[in-house]
Amino acid sequence: MKYSIEYIKSLGLNKSENNLKLLINIFNDSNDVDIKREAVSSIGRQNDLDGIYKFISEYAFKKNTIMEYIYQMFRTCLYKSKIDSRFESLKNRIIEFYNNETINKMNEFYNYKHSNKKTKKNKITTPLLLVGDCEETLKTLPENSIQLTFTSPPYYNAKIYSDYHSYKDYLEKMKNVFKECYRVIEEGRFLIVNVSPVITKRPGREFESIRYPIHFDFHKILEESGFYFIDEIIWIKPESCVKNRVGGYQQTRKALTYKPNCITESILVYRKKCSFLLDKNVSEYKFYDKFENEGIDTSNCWYINPRSDKNHPAVFPEELCRRILKYYSFENDTVLDPFAGSGTFGNVAYKMKRIPVMCEMDNKYVEIIKGGKINYDIRK
């Protein structure tokens, strides 16, 4: 007999001894994964706790059971554990038996939802400029006070302003900064980092220059700092704007000497780990920013011209900041750039009615930020 999902759902909605039996039969008879999963879900909706308990105890620990069914059974245990303690022990047995990431996440999510836990938020209401090493200055900010962080950290030893003893030291430093960012960012909000692979200057022609894929290594340190991966947006620049690396190959056509021109940078989008969905973050806003008259970026490739500046070697294009602010923050949010440079992100954020918090340790750039239009409260 062929069953439809709708039919099984309707059996789930109508609770009766007969429907429970019918659903268990469907689960046993069908070979279709979707049908069987829906049957498990509808079994969980029934009222007969003894029957449901017997069904789950019998099937949840069978060898080679499809995990989709186990997740549904576990879900039932979570919800029924409120009214029947047998399901609490069944739930714990399933957790122990499978030691499965999805099951653990479901459990964490459920516990959070029913804990009434409220994290205290702290509001920063005026623009702030923190002068000094951000690993230290960030410590002066209260926790849960930042709604969005966007930054472009020093690219290891690519420019004169950064100088680390080793790549390992560099990553360690970045991790310490990300951990501080984690503390100040509100639960569920985003940390967005602009990086790209970097090549270090070689000391002479006879030595090999080393290229580091910073964005690959950042994934690990961002995770270790408490964030999880959401997206990678690729910022694409016109080829005419980037360093020509392909010239050597173009002349000789010798294989192995090929080095393509790099026209992309990564925009790594991470979210601060928490046990609730993004919907909860969104629901805290009663109004929405209106960008009705502009198009939206439907793909993760953003074509934006780079910007050069006589005062700073690596400034953000304003358009990049604008899109990040548009997609990942609301008006009145407090937004942070821990490696502010000339303060581009702060300038755009302020224009878009956000409250900027900027950190910079180089006095030359601090002066540029101070000389701008924003009346920053300056802290050393």
Ligand X SMILES: C[S@@+](CC[C@H](N)C(=O)[O-])C[C@H]1O[C@@H](n2cnc3c(N)ncnc32)[C@H](O)[C@@H]1O
- Site of interaction with ligand X (CB under 6 A): 133-135, 152, 154, 161-162, 312, 314-316, 339, 341-342, 344, 359-362, 365
Of 311, 308, 299, 336, nearest to 321 by C-alpha is 336
Chain centroid to Cα 103, Å, comes to 21
Range list of β-strands (E), the chain = 128-131, 146-151, 185-195, 198-199, 211-212, 227-236, 264-272, 301-303, 334-337, 355-360, 377-379
61 vs 164 by CB, closer to ligand X? 164
How far is the CA of 172 from the CAs of 178, 222, 227, 327, in angstroms?
10, 11, 16, 30
| Residue 266 near residue 195 (C-beta atoms within 8 A) | yes
5 vs 315 by CB, closer to ligand X? 315
| Residue 369 near residue 309 (C-beta atoms within 8 A) | no
107 vs 152 by CB, closer to ligand X? 152
Q: Determine the Cα–Cα distance for residues 238 and 263; give it in Å rounded to an integer.
A: 7
| Residue 196 near residue 152 (C-beta atoms within 8 A) | no
Collapsed DSSP state (helix, strand, coil) of residue 228: strand
- CB 143, min distance to ligand X, A: 19
- CB 130, min distance to ligand X, A: 8
- CB 350, min distance to ligand X, A: 14
169 vs 284 by CB, closer to ligand X? 169
162 vs 264 by CB, closer to ligand X? 162
Q: Determine the Cα–Cα distance for residues 357 and 336; give it in Å rounded to an integer.
A: 5
- CB 151, min distance to ligand X, A: 7
| Residue 181 near residue 138 (C-beta atoms within 8 A) | yes
- CB 318, min distance to ligand X, A: 9
**Residue 201 is inside which H or E element, if any?**
none
- CB 161, min distance to ligand X, A: 5
Phi, psi torsion values for 56, nearest 5 degrees: -65, -45
Q: Determine the Cα–Cα distance for residues 130 and 345; give it in Å rounded to an integer.
A: 15
Q: Residue 300: how many CB atoms within 10 A of its CB?
A: 12
152 vs 334 by CB, closer to ligand X? 152
- CB 307, min distance to ligand X, A: 8
188 vs 356 by CB, closer to ligand X? 356
100 vs 162 by CB, closer to ligand X? 162
- CB 316, min distance to ligand X, A: 4
